[in-house]
Amino acid sequence: MSLATRPRPQIDNWNRPFWDACNEQRLMLQRCTATGRCFFPPAPVSPFTGRPEWEWITASGRGELWSFVVFHQSYFPGMKDELPYPVVMVKLEEGPFLLTNLDGMEASQAEIGMRLAVRFPGGPEGITLPQFGSEAGVA
């Protein structure tokens, strides 16, 4: 498996702080200043109020495996050598869901409800992709 061949995310003005933080091995989320609730993906306005009243916070990087599917078909040329691979939905402690992949785990080890922690093993040139692995395997 090579994260270097993964598709590059589309970076814009709203999600650039998220990707910059990932490159620094930190997980950042936007938090609505009116409600105190975090949201993802990054946006110009809070989905809770529709107003541009939010701030960036450093997330705990911990969450729960909410759902997953195992891809057996190649949808991305840079990932065909990884087939089959799991795509997971992690419910972060802060509330939002993050669609990602597993790091250091096989699909057969994934269990709904298991505790996961963010890892930053790499990515395509200039990008670090957040991945999640067993919380027990994190120091």
- pTM of the complete model: 0.92
**37: Cα separation from own chain's centroid:** 18
Q: How confident is the model at residue 100 (pLDDT cuts 50, 70, 90)?
A: very high
Is 1 domain-assigned?
Answer: no
Domain span at 60: 10-137
125 within domain boundaries = yes
User: Is 3 contained in some domain?
Assistant: no
Q: Is residue 4 part of a domain?
A: no
Is residue 93, in this structure, part of any structural domain at all?
yes
In a domain, 2, yes or no: no
Query: Is the residue at 35 inside a domain?
Result: yes
Q: Are 106 and 75 in contact (CB under 8 A)?
A: no
- The tens digit of pLDDT for each residue in 45-92 reads 999 999 999 999 999 999 999 999 999 999 988 889 889 999 999 999
pLDDT in tens, 10-59: 999 999 999 999 999 999 999 999 999 999 999 999 999 999 999 999 99
Total structural domains in the chain? 1
Query: From its phi and psi, is residue 55 left (phi > 0), alpha (psi between -120 and 50) or beta?
Result: beta
